[in-house]
Structure 1
Amino acid sequence: MTDTAPEPVVPAEVPAIDTPPDRLSVNPRSEFYEPALLERGIGIRFEGVEKTTVEEYCVSEGWIRVAAGKSLDRKGQPLTIKLKGKVEPWFKS
């Protein structure tokens, strides 16, 4: 019989997710807002063209929301339009 204490179990580091989520929004009021993922940097390719002004996207439903010019709603948020097509998100870093 030995008086040695058992080795402490050290959890393995969780690897970074390599695929972006199915749905993400840049609006803090949205339930799909994830600041940690946004800090990492996400690029969106819509119908084969890279878009830089995407407010929200959904891969499974195939749409993005982009600002409709400089128009604002009564709460000061940009007016958006939904465009349907093939959405391909990726992490920039």
Structure 2
Amino acid sequence: MTDTPPDRLSSNPKSPFYDEALLERGVGIRFNGVEKTNVDEYCVSEGWVRVTAGNAKDRAGNPMTIKLKGKVEPYFRDPQS
């Protein structure tokens, strides 16, 4: 593993950008300088995060998400061991 988080990462197992090992290590997100804990997916190069919209669900029972644009800064919460 590298010490830099990936450009794009998703917490949804159905996504091609899902990586269980990185999620277990703990990835934190600062979006426009504010710590976000409800991020479902992010992309640094395109400058967006997808956050859950409360308790709303879609027809398939998945959480509804909102795409927000701004400065995305991912970091690892736990140092690499």
Q: Provide TM-score, normalisation by structure 2.
A: 0.94
**In structure 2, what is the Cα distance between the partners aligned to 1:25 and 1:59?**
12
Equivalence for 1:25 = 10
Q: Compare the two structures and name the one with the higher strand fraction.
A: 2
Equivalence for 1:90 = 75
Unaligned runs of 5+ in 2: none
1:79 and 2:61 equivalent?
A: no
> Highest Rg: 1 or 2?
1
**Deviation by residue 1:19-73 (Cα, 9 ceiling, x = unmatched):** 0000000000000000000000000000000000000000000000001111000
Q: Runs in 1 of length 4+ with deviation above 6 angstroms? A: none
Count of aligned residue pairs for this structure pair: 78
State the identity as a percent: 72
Q: Provide TM-score, normalisation by structure 1.
A: 0.82
Unaligned runs of 5+ in 1: 1-15
